């Protein structure tokens, strides 16, 4: 069996959370389970999960009825972006439905090999805005520190697919020191976002060594971590990790969520541990065709996030990364989703819809237009119900 590291993986029957069926059929109950010999302790061990990531089609055939296209794409994907799926995340997939929202995010299809004329190798021009290796300085007061190219699961729409998973290595000590030296020398930098790949895949002491170096810079006010680990490998969130992270406040974590079915009991537990460590949590969601591009799905996701103390932060228009056109929606789809959220639910559940401008222009917010006209200090506005209101601005403008 081609599972990285071993052939073991959990005991209970594989049950899909993507299916509309509440109770599995007798046939489903007796489907092969490649992880039945794993103990509960092994299943809950994040290192075990990483060692047993599925990287080939053969192991996936034991839990999924793969289409011929999926099989072909998995075997071909090594040249583009490797396939790697944790047993935990694989177990969330619908066995029979290739359109399962969990399955579509992680299993490649041959559509990835279609290149659109609009596709870009580096859609956000991160390489062009990198003064030293591993550091992106695009905005005046903040930088992005890329510390690894490894993820627990490789999302097929990844904007950094040019680099993610290529070596599964981390930034070297010399490269890290060079990046920190740049931050120290650039006094206007007050915010450092540590991302990758996924920095939470580091051992606690390795991650702490990075946090400590950044925290020592006097003018760095906040540190952020960008991660998808609480979703794809929630076992990684441990008491020892959260105890270590608490030492580096103010620390924020942005978590990438895509669909409400990702919010399992394991994810709830992981986010609770982080929140109870005093870490503010925000979500980032990429708008994906056929996965979360309906207002009802996105609203449910936002509501579920608030219930686990994660503040919806961004919905991203899918970037122009190579081979991702089949995931992209018209921009109007995202605007319509915001229209169906704002006023129809709590403001905390309404993220910003942004386009990360191709070529390194940064995040540009887009959304419905609520201002109808402005003339001689009088503004005509509409609300979420379409009702029209006038607002008279002050005649004395303060001059």
Contacts for 182 with CB less than 8 Å, ≥ 6 apart: 131, 132, 135, 137, 143
Q: Establish whether 356 is a catalytic residue.
A: yes
pLDDT band for 26, please (50, 70, 90 cuts). Answer: very low
The SS3 assignment for 372 reads: strand
Which of 54, 83, 113 is a domain's end point?
113
264-287: pLDDT as tens digits: 999 999 999 999 999 999 999 999
Residue carrying structure tokens 């390795």: 206
Q: Evaluate whether residue 14 is within a structural domain.
A: no
Question: What percent of the chain clears pLDDT 70, i.e. is strictly above it?
Answer: 90
Whether 130 is in a domain gets the answer: no
Nearest-angstrom CA–CA distance, 296 and 343:
15
| Residues facing residue 368 across a β-bridge | none
Tell me: do 242 and 320 sit in the same domain: yes
The CATH number for 260's domain is 3.20.20.70
Report which of residues 103 and 29 the model is more confident about. Answer: 103
Q: Known catalytic residue: 18?
A: no
Q: Residue 297's closest CA among 309, 306, 288? A: 288
Instruction: Tell whether 17 is covered by a domain.
Output: no
Confidence of residue 288 (pLDDT cuts 50, 70, 90): very high
Phi, psi values for residue 252, rounded to 5°:
-120, 150
Judge whether 242 lies within some domain.
yes
The catalytically annotated residue of 139, 182, 370, 384 is: 139
Q: Do β-strands 352-357 and 362-365 pair in parallel, antiparallel, or remain unpaired?
A: antiparallel
Structural domain boundaries enclosing 385: 369-399
Confirm if 92 and 133 have CB atoms less than 8 A apart. no
pLDDT grade for 12, boundaries at 50, 70 and 90:
very low
Q: Does residue 319 carry a catalytic annotation? A: yes
Cis omega (within 30 of 0) on the bond before 367?
Answer: no
Residue 395 falls inside a structural domain: yes
Residue 107 maps to a domain: yes
pLDDT given at position 24: 44
- Name, in order, each residue with C-beta under 8 angstroms of 21's C-beta and a sequence gap of 6 or more: none
Largest CA distance in the chain: 78
Q: Which residue has the tokens 């992270």?
A: 245
Q: At residue 32, does pLDDT exceed 50?
A: yes
* Average per-residue pLDDT for the chain: 90
User: Could you say which of 53, 95, 104, 142 is catalytic?
Assistant: 142
Average pLDDT over residues 42-57: 95
Please report whether residue 21 resides in a domain: no
Q: Looking at 18, 161, 319, 328, which residue is catalytic?
A: 319
Does 168 share its domain with 286? yes
Residues 173 and 258 in one domain: yes
**Is-contact 353 338, C-beta < 8 A?**
yes
> Does the annotation count 384 as an active-site position?
no
Does one domain contain both 70 and 187? Answer: no
The tens digit of pLDDT for each residue in 52-62 reads: 999 888 888 89
- Residue 129: inside a domain: no
CB-CB contact of 321 with 315 (8 Å): no
Classified as helix, coil or strand, 192 is: strand
- 357 and 383 both lie in a single domain: no
Q: What's the pTM?
A: 0.89
One domain, residues 152 and 221: yes
Listed residues 64, 80, 113: the one ending a domain: 113
Report the alpha-carbon distance of residue 188 to residue 49 in Å, rounded: 40
Does residue 103 sit in the same domain as residue 183?
no
Give how far Cα 343 sits from Cα of 300, 313, 361, Å.
15, 17, 30
Count the Cβ atoms, other than its own, within 10 Å of residue 1.
13
Could you tell me the pLDDT band of residue 19, with boundaries at 50, 70 and 90?
very low
pLDDT given for residue 154 in this prediction = 95
Tokens for 326, please give them.
């089949």
Based on the structure, what is the number of domains in the chain?
Answer: 3
Residues 227 and 375 in one domain: no
Looking at the structure, tell me whether residues 83 and 59 fall in a common domain: yes
Q: Do 64 and 36 sit in the same domain of this protein?
A: yes
pLDDT band for 21, please (50, 70, 90 cuts). Answer: very low
Using an 8 Å Cβ cutoff, are 148 and 170 in contact?
yes
Q: Check residue 9 and give its pLDDT.
A: 34
- Candidate from 75-89, 91-105, 304-318 with smallest mean pLDDT: 75-89
Measure CA of the first residue to CA of the last residue in the chain; give whole Å.
76
Instruction: Name the least confident of 189-203, 325-339, 369-383.
Output: 369-383
| Sheet of strand 388-392, all strands in order from the earlier edge strand to the far edge | 371-375, 378-382, 388-392
- Residue 363: active-site member: yes
- Same-domain status, 88 and 183: no
Length of the chain: 399
153-198 pLDDT tens trace? 999 999 998 888 878 889 999 999 999 999 999 999 999 999 999 9
Catalytic site residue from 18, 158, 170, 271: 158
């Amino acid at each position: 069996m081609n599972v990285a590291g071993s052939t073991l993986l959990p005991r209970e029957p594989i049950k899909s959370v993507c299916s509309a069926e509440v109770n599995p059929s007798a046939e489903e109950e007796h489907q092969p389970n490649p992880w039945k010999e794993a103990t509960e302790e092994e299943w809950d061990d994040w290192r075990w999960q990483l060692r047993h990531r599925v990287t080939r089609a053969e192991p996936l055939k034991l839990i999924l009825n793969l289409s011929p296209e999926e099989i072909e794409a998995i075997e071909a994907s090594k040249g583009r972006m490797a396939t790697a799926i944790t047993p935990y995340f694989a177990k969330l997939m619908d066995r029979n439905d290739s359109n399962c929202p969990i399955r579509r995010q992680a299993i490649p299809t041959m559509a990835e090999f279609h290149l659109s004329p609009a596709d870009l190798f580096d859609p956000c021009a991160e390489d062009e805005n990198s003064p030293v290796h591993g550091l992106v300085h695009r905005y005046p007061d903040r930088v992005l520190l890329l510390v690894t190219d490894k993820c627990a699961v490789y999302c097929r729409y990844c904007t950094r697919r040019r680099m993610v998973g290529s070596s599964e290595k981390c930034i070297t000590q010399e490269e890290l020191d060079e990046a920190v030296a740049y931050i120290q020398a650039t006094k206007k930098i007050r915010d450092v976002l540590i991302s990758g790949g996924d920095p939470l895949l580091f051992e606690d002491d390795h991650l702490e060594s990075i946090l400590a170096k950044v925290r020592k810079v006097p003018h760095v006010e906040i540190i952020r971590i960008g991660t998808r680990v609480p979703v794809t490998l929630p076992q990684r969130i441990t008491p020892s990790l959260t105890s270590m992270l608490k030492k580096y406040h103010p620390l924020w974590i942005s978590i990438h969520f895509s669909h409400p079915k990702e919010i399992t009991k394991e994810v709830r537990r992981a986010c609770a541990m982080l929140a109870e460590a005093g870490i503010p949590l925000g979500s980032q969601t990429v708008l994906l065709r056929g996965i979360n591009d309906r207002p009802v799905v996105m609203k449910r996701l936002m509501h579920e996030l608030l219930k686990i103390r994660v503040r919806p932060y961004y919905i991203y228009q899918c970037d122009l990364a190579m081979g991702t056109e089949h995931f992209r929606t018209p921009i109007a789809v995202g605007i319509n989703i915001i229209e169906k959220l704002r006023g129809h639910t709590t403001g905390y559940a309404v993220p910003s819809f942004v386009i990360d401008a191709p070529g390194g222009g940064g995040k540009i917010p887009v959304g419905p237009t609520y201002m109808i006209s402005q003339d001689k200090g009088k503004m005509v506005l509409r609300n979420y119900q379409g009702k029209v209101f006038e607002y008279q601005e002050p005649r004395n403008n303060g001059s």
